[in-house]
A and B are shown apart, each in its own frame.
Chain A
């Protein structure tokens, strides 16, 4: 057994878990955050993406014990209260989801992508960057649109913040 201590969405949590517990199962089974999903067993679908210490990771590929001491943000921690994160809002606005299963991972990947590119994205880059996220419902058309729109919004917000 391992003792795992994490900050998840700003809250400290500590649990004793089996050594082999994956971060995704720690989140889902041990602290009840079921927004992070599991879509494969080969680290390819991206349904499980969360942010660990500010970077997007596939939580099915990280041991909870490995992450111990770190800071995790999941889909549940993205919105500021009632206010949706711009990427969440854009997915709704542009119908970037259907069944919703890939969506948490898509959104967490998109937030990370926009941050890494400073919002300077084009369609080709977004499609290439989505390599690690599979969606079976949307054909990606509206996901790409949503991410580009959110990148635009976030750039504007940053500019406004800088101007103030």
Chain B
């Protein structure tokens, strides 16, 4: 490892612009003549549009145009789609309801766009939007997914009977039934995985510009995957032809999944620019973010685990209802199926698993992938089950897990996944040691003397990352391949530009990707720049989500580097009159191994471009591209331990210790990886303790639509974390990486809740475990009197 190469704690290249206020986010962009868009949104959760009157609004100062769904449909702009086909167990395809970018007849959630005003200033656009008059016919709203599928519930979409999108299953139900027949013990649990609002700190925004002179479209947008946005906007939404559309995702202020999807607003800004003849910018405010960014999670689950007489797991059955909200968002269908049920084996050698998932429409904001996407839900089911089982069986939670760990690899689970590598005992041991697990009883006794209830909980998670082998996801219903692409451009002076299809919105690619490149040729990090987020510059890309930028994105770069290296060696061999196989590139020098014959790296690069003396037949230049399609998912795994103290008088939970031991395979930059884990844990703790997305059950209003009501984790809700890594190299990709972006959010919620249930001695608590809920649970369990 060099001081700047793989494994080094290199400070970030991108920081300078951010800490000096020079970052360039979408809302920072302006254009001459630019106008502002403001959306008119449905105030009702379910209502028919009887009439829209834009007359008074159109006469307001500064108004350039007011557009509705009628014009959108007239211009042939297509409906939003879900790009992953899921079939129900009766083989019928999922029931996708029509989702126009601007509602024409019916609005199905509060905040759905029904018209857009384009005006000269932000304020004028807002004023005019408020002046658009709409006559509504209110319809009954359904918020609860269980009510949505109950007898006689009002149907939300014409083509979805009983509001059911699909009724899907995976696994061998007969084998599971047989296991439960012979079980010595069965643990049962009912869980709600609470709905979350992603809340990237930069609200979504878009600036659309149609250049009539050259018949060319440009949109700046807050996207995690600008090429996918271009593809979808042209191929499905018909906004602009792909070869005439440039999508730029400049600096993006966090995504966590919510900026994967292509939303109505960017489509409308681009289309409205063509319609009005001016560049059109829209910037969401936080209330719009709450109402319209795709939400996450929202599962109701019953699960049972069967054990034989010595605590060996022999079967698992899971029944889940997933609330999709009012429309199917871009990847929604995959989340509670192939990203959830396929992870239900966890770290355990479970011989039989069956899972049934019903996806349901309700009159709420659409739900899609949010940090972890399906894998946090699977981990929550398993790890709460295991901890509960340990208590029922009178075994230590660590021992029960240890007894059932998968120990040999590759391991084929009963639910599709083939784990390639791992050492679950190593991360469990590392976490227990870091947490001083053995010292817990003494700490609990000491806390009791202070009148506090202390509890400890663990969670051993696994996730499938490095998403994903294209053929595999294609066979499972994905409409796209999930490879990645890269281009490495070596300049005549030896500096290098890397163009990547991955997109960094906090992940530090400009630094970590450059580390890999610098190490390969032994050149300074400062001589490498990383470019992303612009479809006119980068050849193609599938973007960043599913912890795929390292395992897939960097692998594409490595493939391109291999080609560059091979060509550079050919040129050097020719110049040095040596055999190609004898050339090595190290420390910025290209030398004949074992001799002092050498050229500087930049001399070889220059030779490639002068073309004065190249091997016969070799093209000049030194620039290579590559596409990398992974052969398998990667399987990061780890163990999290949370220790809490609860004040029985108030029900307030304080996290007094949080330990994470993760196996991410090879780590490029430990500082960056630790940062990813910190952020993930904060989101997981937020889900476990604070974040409640609440809809009024009668009116369907989103009650928690601002930071006044939705409890975001703040600095004093959290402790400092103890994070470390163990390492098993991933055999599936050239750098041996597994991915680290989502682990924290996946592993932490069950660890926190297991600690709370340990402290209060009852399992009856749902997330978020607010002081009120904990206080009530303590009263119900009778522990309060005991503590007093």
Say yes or no for A139: interface residue by CB 8 A criterion: yes
- Segment among B182-190, B455-463, B675-683 that sits at the interface with chain A: B675-683
The residue among B14, B712, B716 with the most chain A CB atoms within 10 A of its own CB is B716
Q: Do A35 and B675 have beta carbons less than 8 Å apart?
A: no
Q: List the A side residues contacting B15 at CB < 8 Å.
A: 91-92, 97, 100
Q: List the A side residues contacting B672 at CB < 8 Å.
A: 95
Question: Which of B23, B200, B708, B720 is close to A123, meaning CB atoms less than 8 Å apart?
Answer: B720
Q: How far is the CB of B549 from chain A (nearest CB, A)?
A: 13
Q: List the B side residues contacting A142 at CB < 8 Å.
A: 675, 678
* Mask of A103-124 contacts with B, CB within 8 angstroms, 1/0: 1100100000000000000011
Given A40-B707, A141-B721, A144-B715: A101 and B20 interface contact (C-beta under 8 Å): no
Q: Do A42 and B286 have beta carbons less than 8 Å apart?
A: yes
Q: Complex formed: what's the CA distance from A133 to B202 in Å?
A: 13
Say yes or no for A163: interface residue by CB 8 A criterion: no
Q: Do B706 and A41 have beta carbons less than 8 Å apart?
A: yes
Q: Complex formed: what's the CA distance from A144 to B24 in Å?
A: 25
Say yes or no for B779: interface residue by CB 8 A criterion: no
- Segment among A51-59, A64-72, A73-81, A152-160 that sits at the interface with chain B: A73-81
Q: Do B720 and A74 have beta carbons less than 8 Å apart?
A: no
Say yes or no for B747: interface residue by CB 8 A criterion: no
Given A92-B19, A136-B254: A130 and B506 interface contact (C-beta under 8 Å): no
**In the complex, which residue of chain A has the Cβ closest to the Cβ of B671?**
A95
Q: List the A side residues contacting B20 at CB < 8 Å.
A: 35, 75-76, 78-79, 84, 88
Given A140-B682, A144-B715: A99 and B675 interface contact (C-beta under 8 Å): no
The residue among A42, A88, A136 with the most chain B CB atoms within 10 A of its own CB is A136
* Mask of B109-125 contacts with A, CB within 8 angstroms, 1/0: 00000000000011100
Q: How far is the CB of A107 from chain B (nearest CB, A)?
A: 6
Say yes or no for B628: interface residue by CB 8 A criterion: no
**In the complex, which residue of chain B has the Cβ closest to the Cβ of A105?**
B201
Q: Complex formed: what's the CA distance from A31 to B507 in Å?
A: 31
Question: Which of A45, A76, A139 is close to B679, meaning CB atoms less than 8 Å apart?
Answer: A139
Q: Do A39 and B23 have beta carbons less than 8 Å apart?
A: no
Question: Which of B22, B507, B683, B714 is close to A98, meaning CB atoms less than 8 Å apart?
Answer: B507
| Interface size classification for chain B | 35 or more
Q: Do A98 and B19 have beta carbons less than 8 Å apart?
A: no
Interfacial residues of chain B within 466-525, with CB under 8 A of chain A in the complex: 505-508
* Mask of A20-35 contacts with B, CB within 8 angstroms, 1/0: 1000010011000111
Q: List the B side residues contacting A95 at CB < 8 Å.
A: 11-12, 671-672, 674-675
Q: List the A side residues contacting B27 at CB < 8 Å.
A: 28, 34, 38
Say yes or no for A135: interface residue by CB 8 A criterion: yes
- What total count of A-B pairs have CB within 8 Å? 184
Q: Complex formed: what's the CA distance from A128 to B675 in Å?
A: 21
Say yes or no for B21: interface residue by CB 8 A criterion: yes
Q: List the A side residues contacting B671 at CB < 8 Å.
A: 95
Say yes or no for B664: interface residue by CB 8 A criterion: no
Report 24 cross-chain contacts, Cβ distance below 8 Å, ordered by A residue. A20-B123, A33-B21, A34-B21, A37-B202, A38-B285, A40-B285, A42-B707, A79-B20, A84-B20, A95-B675, A97-B18, A99-B200, A99-B201, A100-B15, A100-B251, A101-B253, A102-B253, A107-B19, A128-B715, A133-B715, A137-B201, A139-B679, A139-B713, A140-B678
Say yes or no for B84: interface residue by CB 8 A criterion: no
Q: Do A34 and B28 have beta carbons less than 8 Å apart?
A: yes
**In the complex, which residue of chain A has the Cβ closest to the Cβ of B22?**
A35
* Mask of B72-90 contacts with A, CB within 8 angstroms, 1/0: 0000000000000000000
Q: Which residues of A contact B (CB under 8 A)?
A: 18, 20, 25, 28-29, 33-42, 44-45, 47, 74-76, 78-79, 84, 88, 91-93, 95, 97-104, 107, 123-124, 126-128, 130-131, 133-145
Q: List the A side residues contacting B674 at CB < 8 Å.
A: 95
Q: List the B side residues contacting A76 at CB < 8 Å.
A: 20-22
Given A33-B21, A42-B706, A92-B16: A140 and B718 interface contact (C-beta under 8 Å): yes
Q: Complex formed: what's the CA distance from A33 to B21 in Å?
A: 8
Interfacial residues of chain B within 675-713, with CB under 8 A of chain A in the complex: 675-676, 678-683, 706-708, 712-713
Of all A-B residue pairs in the complex, the 5 with the closest CB atoms, nearest first, are: A35-B21, A101-B253, A100-B18, A139-B682, A99-B506
Q: What 11 additional pairs, Cβ within 8 angstroms, besides A37-B253, A92-B16? A: A18-B121, A33-B21, A34-B21, A75-B19, A76-B22, A95-B675, A99-B200, A131-B715, A137-B675, A139-B678, A143-B715
Q: Complex formed: what's the CA distance from A142 to B718 in Å?
A: 12
Q: List the B side residues contacting A78 at CB < 8 Å.
A: 20-21
**In the complex, which residue of chain B has the Cβ closest to the Cβ of A128?**
B716
Q: Complex formed: what's the CA distance from A41 to B256 in Å?
A: 21
Q: Do B721 and A102 have beta carbons less than 8 Å apart?
A: no
Q: How far is the CB of B561 from chain A (nearest CB, A)?
A: 26
Say yes or no for B421: interface residue by CB 8 A criterion: no
Q: List the B side residues contacting A104 at CB < 8 Å.
A: 18-19, 21
Question: Which of A34, A35, A92, A130 is close to B715, meaning CB atoms less than 8 Å apart?
Answer: A130
